[in-house]
Chains A and B, each alone.
Chain A
Amino acid sequence: MHNVSTLPLHINHLHVTRKGNLLLCDIDYSIDTAGVTVILGPNGAGKSLLLQVAHGLVAPDEGDLKWNTLSPHPQQSWRAFVFQKPVLLRRSVRANLGYVLSLHKVEKSKHHELIEEALEQTGLAKLAERNARVLSGGEQQRLSIARAWVLKPKVILLDEPTAELDPAGTAAVECLIETIAQQDTKILMTTHDLGQARRLASDILFLHQGRLVEFSPAQNFFQQPQTEAAQKFIAGKLLNGGQKK
């Protein structure tokens, strides 16, 4: 569906300031690996903000972020964003998926097939006619991922997708993320859950106080963290300070 090349993701000296606080400071990195890139770090590290910049929801104050050559804006259908707490429309599961397709002007004749496929993938086929607002938390998040997946995007950004879910819901969502990553969709997600990062990540961006402290393949990161902050975080110690003033 999408004839664009999206990798590598170039992040060039990115700064984001809000109300005088420097929330993201000089992030400079390129991601060219497929699979699941996890942005890891304690609360307030700037993980979500970085993800929002990557979807074009927040404009950087300095520097830039480009998917290959493309600057992100939310109307690009080759990339989708999944929130920690999804807001679903007051209509059926199926209609929630149809909404996104018509939003991106996908031909009507293709809707049925795409929706069925997304429902099947996310295990929501039996709930298709159910009202989206009455689903459980885990089902809502799966629908939210289905809503991203239905456009067959090349990139899916997920912001703490399991932070509000119970273990069963978390397992289902993680399984779904793995399946999607195997189908050649780049996953960029945030989490502060070390276990989740270990289970899913192929590589790690470790953020602390708005700075990119460490980036490496997941295995290296967990076995030989290079920085003190990363070592402490992996050891489960508290890192001082949230946002850098």
Chain B
Amino acid sequence: MNDISQAFAKAIQLITQLDANLLEIVSLSMRVSLTSVLIASLIGLPLGAALALYKFPGRGFFVVLLNAFMGLPPVVVGLIVYLMLSRSGPLGVLGLLFTPTAMIIAQTCLITPIIAALARQTIMDANVEYHEQLRALGAKSFRIMKTLLWETKYSLLTSVFAGFGRATAEVGAVLIVGGNINHATRVMTTAIALETRKGDIELALALGIILIVISLILTTIVMNIRDAAYKYYN
């Protein structure tokens, strides 16, 4: 018990002293996850909206696939991206394996389906209310899609944060394609896994605390934005 409280005290100390090693890991984590979320949103939001609004053959199958991909195991995504990027893989010439870029690719693959599937549901619900009106106003289908994406921006923000939560929390994909290399591809989750095994509980705990705090802050921001939007509109 004493060990744990000591470790906890040291972890707090690492955080308050802004330990260089700690900061490096946290900032790489943020860089990788934020970039992934940005790319996944740019793909996932229009994709989800298009799946909600456009009818084409095979749409049903595509939607099932998308929803199934929401729960993709990170290690499997990591493995597939690893195979693509490894020296003998189709994208091997790019030499991206074990770089932050590879981690961004893996996380983007992981969370694009999440953002797209949630966006699809949001846009579908909004479309029930808006469709007839927008059509009567003279909007064509692409314009309807753009309008609905804008009208539901606060709900979509929640989908984006769900993606971000998933990205920061996963270990498997970034571990496989990043390799957890010190000063290069070590992020919070992979560092926690490693340091715990090494017995360096302080650093692991400090990183764990930061992860939880980040998620608390984000949740608070999202809830506040939604509340403010709700009050504004109702």
Mark out the residues of chain A between 67 and 106 whose CB falls within 8 Å of any chain B CB in the assembled complex: 74-77, 80-81, 83, 86-87, 89-90, 99-100, 103-104
B20 within 8 A of A: no
| A131-B232 contact given A87-B129, A89-B147, CB 8 Å threshold | yes
Residue of A nearest to B135 (CB): A74
CB neighbours (8 Å) of A244 from chain B are none
Interface of B is mostly: helix
Residue of A nearest to B143 (CB): A103
Q: How far is the CA of A180 from the CA of B130 in the complex (A)?
A: 26
A133 within 8 A of B: yes
Residue of A nearest to B147 (CB): A89
- CB distance B137 to A55 under 8 Å? no
Q: How far is the CA of A188 from the CA of B11 in the complex (A)?
A: 74
- CB distance A104 to B133 under 8 Å? no
Number of chain B residues whose Cβ lies closer than 8 Å to a Cβ of chain A: 17
Mark out the residues of chain B between 124 and 145 whose CB falls within 8 Å of any chain A CB in the assembled complex: 129-130, 132-140, 143
B17 within 8 A of A: no
B151 within 8 A of A: yes
- The smallest C-beta distance from B109 to any residue of chain A, in angstroms, reads 33
Please list 5 pairs of residues, one from A and one from B, whose beta carbons are closer than 8 Å in the complex, sorted by A's number. A55-B136, A74-B138, A81-B136, A83-B136, A133-B233
A-B pairs with lowest CB-CB distance, top 8: A87-B133, A81-B136, A75-B138, A133-B233, A74-B138, A90-B151, A74-B135, A74-B136
Using a CB–CB cutoff of 8 Å, the interface residues on chain A facing chain B are 55, 57, 74-77, 80-81, 83, 86-87, 89-90, 99-100, 103-104, 131, 133-134, 147
Using a CB–CB cutoff of 8 Å, the interface residues on chain B facing chain A are 129-130, 132-140, 143, 147, 151, 232-234
